[in-house]
Amino acid sequence: MKINKIIIRVSHFFGFMRDSFHIDDVKMNIPSIYNEKDFDNDDPIVINDIKDQVNRKFKEDKKFEKVCRKANQVWVVLPTNETKRLLYKEGSLFYPCDTDNLIWKRNEEINKALN
């Protein structure tokens, strides 16, 4: 086990660093049939497929979903060995593309205005 992961786990046990998580705790591999060129452009079909795969993982593994909800993010490893960070808030996944970034910023501004 990695030393940083051990430090975070011990800190969590004693009630410290509750908002810190190791990337291995919020990372998942995406088994997919797409080619590398499908990931070069932000194709909505590919993005929705990735979100569907992550949501399926959330339904299967509640502990993983709970950790990702606390961290507000999910790291996915694509078949091209590229990693992408999906933002996860209030049960919604946001892929790092223009449309999802606008939706994320809008939701953040709404939450700030309401609080």
Find the helix or strand (DSSP H, E) in which 75 lies: strand 73-77
Q: What is the pLDDT of residues 97-108, one digit of tens each?
A: 766 777 777 777
Residue 19 has pLDDT above 80, yes or no: no
* Residue-averaged pLDDT of the chain: 81
Residue 57 pLDDT: 92
Distance between CA atoms of 101 and 95, rounded to whole angstroms?
7
Residue 42's contacts (CB-CB under 8 Å, 6 or more residues apart) are 95, 97, 98
User: Beta strands 73-77 and 83-89: pairing type?
Assistant: antiparallel
Average of per-residue pLDDT across 61-85: 87
Average of per-residue pLDDT across 11-16: 80
pLDDT band (50, 70, 90) for residue 58: very high
Average of per-residue pLDDT across 5-13: 79
The 3-state DSSP class for residue 79 equals coil
Q: What are phi and psi of 3, to 5 degrees?
A: -65, -40
Q: What is the pLDDT of residues 25-45, one digit of tens each?
A: 889 988 767 666 666 566 777
Domain positions in the chain are: 22-114
